[in-house]
Amino acid sequence: MTTASPAKGTALPWSGLLALSTAAFTAVLTELLPAGLLPRMAPALGVSEARVGFLVTGYAVASFLAAIPVTATLRGLPRRPVLIGTLLGFACADAVVALSSSYAVTFGARLLAGVMGGTMWAMLAGYAARMVPAERRGRAIAIVLAGITLALSLGIPAGTALADAIGWRPAFGTLTGLALLVVAWIRRRVPAFPGELPGARVPLRRVAVLPGIPAVLSVTLFLLLGHQVMYTYVAPFTAHTGYGRTDVVLLVFGAATVVGIWATGALVDRWARPTLLGALTLIVTVMCVLALFADSPAVLLTSVAVWGVAFGGAPTLIQTALVDASGPQHADVATSLQTTVYNAGIAGGSFTGGLALSGWGAGALPWTALPLVAIALTVVSLDRRHKHPQGGARGAARHRRPHQSAPRAAARPTHRPRPTERRRPRVRPLRTALR
């Protein structure tokens, strides 16, 4: 059974897209809230603050390891129950964290939340793409991913303030309630989509090498490597410049990412590739400026604002390219690959930045990030448009030169495909997807 695609020109399903965006918001809060509560959680769990920090690490590792195998295992199941199941998993994990006084039990709950996170991130972009016509796909993905930006810029500070006011356990209890609220919202407003039929499932290794996907994954990896080199160590870099107000720098960056994702949502469906090229060019330029002129507070804050605008829209652009390359029907598997690469970029960038900081000091951080982001820009710039032939007479006709006449058998086919027969999905390379 298949679900018909939305008709061209139909209005965006705002309620359903906002429900998915709120699910993303909930996932990011669940993942990162402990980082702001280390001093409060450590005495209650009887461990050091460093070990409480491992609650964030454990989540990330579980998400990294689970994204591909869990998504591949569940790809045949109806999509909405799987999405609801991940949110119920978040609700259970947050409830256990809110009630537990055992570090081991709390750590186990965080591992469960990480598995749910890896599964959810593999679904959200593809789900949004299936809810709208193709010409609005980028905007729909931007709306959903805005939940990440809002969680980072507003949700984490608000959650930390709530924990200061009422305690960290009620804060995690509030997250449980939010997850359950989103479950009810999704059941009412998000359409049901079937899973992949057994005969239509493309093996994971074939999805990974579909035209355009290796390029998108490469851009994802090198962009995150370069970004995390700087973002992870923004505090020592800010101190190195003599400004010292890390809180202001992070506030400027967070506010700018909101502007970036709004601007991307307006541009992505018409000028996706130029917008991505522009965003990567801005980040490369910012790294150069930070390396040379960051001792001026005005230059520092302006550069950070430009960096935030450019990076705020980049995830939407690369996820839109990925969905276009894989086709919405294979987006869950393709996005699970990207989730793994994304987490690898975060871990690798943090590690590389730490080495640079230890070996050469904070002033070396932008010089370390610069070539990594430049590689991502080069991949997008040089990725050549290539044709992906379709099978059968239709594919032969498409790639035949104008002066060649079609064979009689192709002109008058003796067999018409039945409605139940599935054709191999058309996919597009990165440059084609981002024109």
pTM of the model: 0.69
- Residue 19: predicted pLDDT: 96
Q: Is 60 exceeded by the pLDDT of residue 93?
A: yes
- Whose tokens are 């969680």? That residue is 151
Are 74 and 159 spatial neighbours (Cβ–Cβ below 8 Å)?
no
pLDDT at residue 198 tops 70 = no
Q: How confident is the model at residue 412 (pLDDT cuts 50, 70, 90)?
A: very low
The per-residue pLDDT for range 256-293, each reduced to its tens digit, is 888 888 888 888 778 878 889 999 999 999 999 999 99
Predicted confidence band of residue 371 (pLDDT cuts 50, 70, 90):
very high
> If you average pLDDT over residues 131-138, what whole number do you get?
84
